[in-house]
Amino acid sequence: MHTADADPDMSSNTAPAAPASPSQPPGEGAVSVLWSFGKCLAALLPVYLAGYYGFSISLVLLGLMVYMGYKHGRLEKEMRLKSSMYLLENEREFTTQKLFRARRDLPPWVSFPDVEKVEWLNKILQQAWPFVGQYLEKLLVETIAPAIRASSIHLQTLSFTKVNLGEKALKLIGVKAHTEHDKRQVMLDLYLSYAGDVEINVEIKKYFCKAGVKGVQLHGKLRVILEPLIGDVPLVGAVTMFFIRRPKLDINWTGLTNLLDIPGLNAMSDTMIMDAIASHLVLPNRLTVPLVADLHVAQLRSPLPRGVVRIHLLEAEDLTAKDTVIKGLIDGKSDPYAVLRVGTQIFTSHHVDSNLNPQWREMYEVIVHEVPGQELEVEVFDKDPDQDDFLGRAKIDLDIVKKARIVDDWFDLRDVPSGSVHLRLEWLSLLSSADRLSEVIQKNQNLTAKTADPPSAAILAVYLDQAYELPMRKGNKDPSPMVQISVQDTTKESKTCYGTNSPVWEDAFTFFIQDPRKQDIDIQVKDDDRAFLLGSLTIPLNRLLESHELTLDQWFQLGNSGSASRLYAKLVLRILWLSDDASPTTPSPPPSGSGSGMGQGDITSNQNSAGPGGLTKPQPSRPQNTTPDPEFATEGVLRIHLVEAQNLIAKDNFMGGMVKGKSDPYVKIRVAGLTFRSHTIKENLNPVWNELYEVILTQLPGQEIQFELFDKDLDQDDFLGRFKLNLRDIISAQFIDTWYTLNDVKSGRVHLVMEWLSRLSDLPRLEQLLQYQSQQSYQNKVVPSSAVLFVYVERAHGLPLKKNGKEPKAGAEITFKNVSYKTKICERSTSPRWDEAFHFLVRDPRDETLTVKLSHSWGQTLGSLTFPLKDVLSEPGLVLDQWFSLDGALPESQILLRITLKILDTQLAVCRGTPGPGGDGSVEQFMPRWDPSHLDLKHRSGFSIIAENANSAGQVKLTISYSADENRLFIIVHSCRALAACSKDGADPYVSFVLLPDKKATTKRRTATKKRDLNPEFNERFDFDFTLEESMQKRLDLSVKHSGSFMSREKELIGKFQLDLDQIDLKAGVTQWYDLVAEST
């Protein structure tokens, strides 16, 4: 007899066997039989109908073949998805067991040592994946579905019935960081791999239509660029992301979209989806997410190209014969042609009949957006009437072409038994000056090629931003504008903005220009039907040649349009220049060996002894000059003179605040990642520091300078206020001498003198600057710099070997006074290449020296150079670019440097110049006064100005211009700032003005009233139907008033000013700030 707590295993042996499943009801069994019978009838019905109606049996066979192909493709796709999921889940085991297989099967972190694993990030993604799914479901159901339903009457019953991202999260197979190319950005390559069990179903009830996706594969390399780096939270101005090449995509469809798995439609559907992805996320398209304000997002989304590569497709040899006779018994020939790809740019050569050693002699030009990353892919095919046969491919990393400038070599074709192709690749730099345009055009005329397009002398980048007040369609309906941009025979179209007469396109286009002196750009704004013209514009490109840095960035008046119709665009022209000192690699002889084998025909950045074609690399002739980046030596110097402060808050109180004390103030200045700190002044609410700071800066958008004041205490320093300045405004003003009000505190202001120093190559000016500096004295013992030194370290040659006979891992250390920088360490070579730039502040270039020391991994010395800067002073343009012999090394050991000196000019040296001829020291004394009229502080937070005049009542910003097209004068009241308060709540300001003489006050105008705002923004435009002569006879009488209460009869005047319009250039138009004068003056 068993007890209640008997062993369950024993009890189960004695218990009667339970049925495997509950008994099936008789009704369900009948339904199952009927369903099986129905499927048999459905399968035989097409055969019966074909016989009944006398159709050919071939139709039945065709349908059967399509069905079998569909089932086969479906099963294959499911197997690929399952195998990818298995591979991602068991990556470590899979890699370890197969470690010695072909390199192409290994993940990136095994194949390339500079690609790092990020398993910690994959764990975070896996943990957060369910919540990502919840967000996606909310997005699709609550945002996207209503938008789709509203877009068409046929989709009003659409709904997402199931949204499930599954359990398989996106994986990062590896991450590679590029930090050696540009110090102002961080570039990341993310190797993405996603094989997920995502399931999304959609239903349109009106048409009984169901469709969906069940399983997706996506594999590719996503580049993420963090730029610009800024010295403030969040440290990064914007995030830009894109795929350099199209990712691989495989989608498993369900429901009605099952039809897309039919052979033929499958490839077509995936291609259409990839085209949609490419239009947003594959070069040259980018997705940019700004993180801070005042960024030029359009330039980050569509930056200027890195350069242009001119490809000369010359010839090929030893190609495989594909046109064989008698089933291969007799070898024939091939009819080869080549297909060249760089990103989305594709070119096809002509085919050469019956030739295994064809000569094409064709030339192509491609725009390169990203290096490293982009590759030139060359594929050779045999032309056939049906399907062309594959003859091999080669890939070339364009980063190698950029460094070498010219590559002329044979490249093995891989994936075939034999064959090689001869290419000449030239890297064309982009110049922002037209000085060499005539020379470029003359060189291009000497080039001959079979291609129909002649060589280009320049490229034109068009940033199409927006339009304003386009004409309406018939019936006063809003148009749907798009833009056609044409240069010679090339026309490109923008996207369409539906239902607006003030569209915003934010598109970018690039054109090759043969001769900008003779060509025009034609812009036509049309409705989406391409028939109704909304406006047109023609701009001669020689107008760009006369503009600053070959750039036009402005509003353009549209012709054949409304009187107020305008278009905003930025046009940038860049001259294509092949460096004179670029020496091509000597073309190696065509290879005689087989072209098969892994990696042949590829160029990678890890080349050592192998040449670009995978052959023995010939020794190129050494360049005689450096080839720095175009942005070398473009940095500027900001000089900050911290003078004094007033009315600071007393923090050191006694007896619980009953007795007011003092403060011990000091200042922290943060700019471009650097922090300067002043000395502390004891017990003073009106301290005088008289300290000078200098910093070398790059002109990046969004940079700010932060000033913070603190009271020095034994424990924690007390806060005394802060304020921020925009570097862009300081650069625009050049010189600023003013007081700044402290924010976040009750009182206090700081006196600063700041100057963005001009850079000169004028040697006589140096003596005046040095004499001026010798007369200056600052509390922090800083001597103002007279120059800035730029050093470009390109390469070395003939370095000695290590003591053990091996080649060194060379690095260079550049020292100037007490400042030292180190280059990267190159791989083992006696001729290393660094391509790095450095800069230093120089007090007196006549007495100072530069030291360059080369060593093996910062150990064994390989040679050194001591260079006195006075040698640069005798060089033209203060630039020295040459090879320098190294001391303490071999006789042939040399280093290639460019040393550039820029004199730092200051306006103060002009004011307090050298004594006059009489020696009495009398000079014309004048101090440059800061004119803030050109600054736009509209978006600045916490920035206020205390005017030098005690009676100043603030400022007003106006645009005054005369439109010749409209024959009218217009005045735009933008905003006011630093207005005087009229009550405890501030003021309720508005602007009123009249154009004198005006007896009947017909020109009197006023803006709307802004409540409780001392920095109001109006942005209101007022037009006057005057001729230009009449406008110049007018006098503007403007007042800013406070709108009092309802019971008040008079309006209180805040400030006013008057301006004679004949004092400004009305045709060009003027936008600036004007000082308001208080009523008491």
Structure tokens at 109: 């972190």
Res 142: pLDDT? 86
- What is the pLDDT confidence band of residue 90, given thresholds at 50, 70 and 90? low
114-166 tens-digit pLDDT? 778 888 888 898 898 888 888 888 888 888 888 888 777 777 888 888 888 88
Structure tokens at 983: 């009550």
Q: Is 804 helix (H, G, I), strand (E, B) or coil?
A: coil
Q: What are phi and psi of 84, to 5 degrees?
A: -65, -40
Res 580: pLDDT? 65
Residue with tokens 């006059």: 916
Rounded to an integer, what distance in angstroms lies between the CA atom of residue 838 and that of residue 817? 14
Residue with tokens 């700041």: 754
Roughly what angle, to the nearest 10 degrees, separates helices 26-52 and 57-89? Answer: 130
Decide if 468 contacts 566 (C-beta within 8 A).
Answer: yes
pLDDT at 1028 over 80: yes
> Higher pLDDT residue, 476 or 621?
476
Q: Is 611 helix (H, G, I), strand (E, B) or coil?
A: coil
Chain centroid to CA 40: 61
pLDDT at 277 over 70: no
Structure tokens at 70: 């569909």
> Higher pLDDT residue, 24 or 551?
551
List residues bridging with 646 in a β-sheet.
Answer: 749
1070-1077 vs 952-963, strand pairing mode: antiparallel
Rounded to an integer, what distance in angstroms lies between the CA atom of residue 93 and that of residue 115? 19
∠799-800-805 over CA atoms, to 5°? 135
Poorest-pLDDT segment among 228-237, 440-449, 835-844, 1014-1023: 440-449
Res 584: pLDDT? 57
Q: What are phi and psi of 376, to 5 degrees?
A: -95, 125
Q: What are phi and psi of 582, to 5 degrees?
A: -75, 125
List residues bridging with 337 in a β-sheet.
Answer: 381
327: left (phi over 0), alpha (psi -120 to 50) or beta: left
Res 343: pLDDT? 80
632-666 tens-digit pLDDT? 888 889 999 999 999 898 887 655 555 567 889 99
1035-1042 vs 1052-1060, strand pairing mode: antiparallel
Q: In the chain, count of helices (H) and strands (E)?
A: 16, 52
pLDDT at 621 over 90: no
- What is the pLDDT confidence band of residue 365, given thresholds at 50, 70 and 90? very high
∠876-878-883 over CA atoms, to 5°? 85
307-317 vs 330-333, strand pairing mode: unpaired
Report which DSSP code applies to 143. I
Decide if 786 contacts 770 (C-beta within 8 A).
Answer: yes
> Higher pLDDT residue, 68 or 872?
872
Residue with tokens 């009944």: 52
Return the closest-CA partner of residue 1037 out of 1065, 1005, 1010: 1005
- What is the pLDDT confidence band of residue 707, given thresholds at 50, 70 and 90? very high
pLDDT at 943 over 50: no
Which residues, including other chains, have CB under 8 Å from residue 71's CB and lie 6 or more apart?
none
Res 91: pLDDT? 60
pLDDT at 731 over 80: yes
Q: What are phi and psi of 933, to 5 degrees?
A: -65, -25
Structure tokens at 573: 């022209």
Tally of CB atoms within 10 A around 131: 10
Rounded to an integer, what distance in angstroms lies between the CA atom of residue 393 and that of residue 414? 6
Report which DSSP code applies to 550. G
Could you tell me the sign of the dihedral formed by the alpha carbons of 655, 660, 664, 666, in that order? positive
Decide if 884 contacts 893 (C-beta within 8 A).
Answer: no
Res 308: pLDDT? 93
What is the H or E stretch that residue 61 is in? helix 57-89
Structure tokens at 1021: 């435009």
Report which DSSP code applies to 854. E
Mean residue pLDDT across the chain: 79
Rounded to an integer, what distance in angstroms lies between the CA atom of residue 236 and that of residue 227? 6
Q: What are phi and psi of 970, to 5 degrees?
A: -135, 145
Q: How much is the average pLDDT of 739-760?
A: 89
Cis peptide before 932 (omega within 30 of 0): no
163-212 tens-digit pLDDT? 888 888 888 888 988 876 667 788 888 988 888 888 888 888 877 777 78
Return the closest-CA partner of residue 183 out of 620, 789, 824, 867: 824
pLDDT at 1000 over 80: no
Q: What is the 3-state secondary structure (H, E, C) of 263-310?
A: CCHHHHHHHHHHHHHHHHHECCCCEEEECCCCCCHHHHHCCCCCEEEE
53-76 tens-digit pLDDT? 777 767 777 777 777 776 677 677
Strands (E), 698-803: 704-711, 718-726, 735-741, 749-760, 787-797
558-567 tens-digit pLDDT? 998 888 899 9
Report which DSSP code applies to 19. P
- What is the pLDDT confidence band of residue 111, given thresholds at 50, 70 and 90? low
Rounded to an integer, what distance in angstroms lies between the CA atom of residue 718 and that of residue 663? 9
Residue with tokens 């343009």: 877
Q: What are phi and psi of 878, to 5 degrees?
A: 55, 40
Res 1020: pLDDT? 87
pLDDT at 708 over 90: yes
Return the closest-CA partner of residue 179 out of 220, 222, 225: 225
Which residues, including other chains, have CB under 8 Å from residue 266's CB and lie 6 or more apart?
73, 260
Q: Strand 989-996: give its sheet, edge to edge.
A: 1005-1006, 989-996, 1035-1042, 1052-1060, 1070-1077, 952-963, 968-977, 1017-1024
Q: How much is the average pLDDT of 986-1013?
A: 86
pLDDT at 952 over 60: yes
Chain centroid to CA 826: 28
Q: How much is the average pLDDT of 422-431?
A: 92
> Higher pLDDT residue, 614 or 1046?
1046
pLDDT at 753 over 80: yes
780-813 tens-digit pLDDT? 888 899 899 999 999 999 898 887 778 889 999 9
Q: For residue 472, give Cα distances in angstroms to 257, 530, 531, 880, 966.
A: 41, 15, 14, 61, 18
pLDDT at 982 over 90: no
Decide if 967 contacts 1025 (C-beta within 8 A).
Answer: yes
Res 305: pLDDT? 87
Decide if 486 contacts 521 (C-beta within 8 A).
Answer: yes
Burial of 720 (0-12, 13-18, 19+ CB in 10 A): buried
Q: How much is the average pLDDT of 1040-1050?
A: 67
DSSP of 159-195, one letter per residue?
EEEEEE--S---EEEEEEEE-SS-TT-EEEEEEEEEE
Tally of CB atoms within 10 A around 348: 13
Burial of 650 (0-12, 13-18, 19+ CB in 10 A): middle
Alpha helices in 876-969 (DSSP H): 907-911
pLDDT at 266 over 70: no
Cis peptide before 228 (omega within 30 of 0): yes
Burial of 159 (0-12, 13-18, 19+ CB in 10 A): middle
Rounded to an integer, what distance in angstroms lies between the CA atom of residue 480 and that of residue 494? 12
Q: How much is the average pLDDT of 676-682?
A: 92
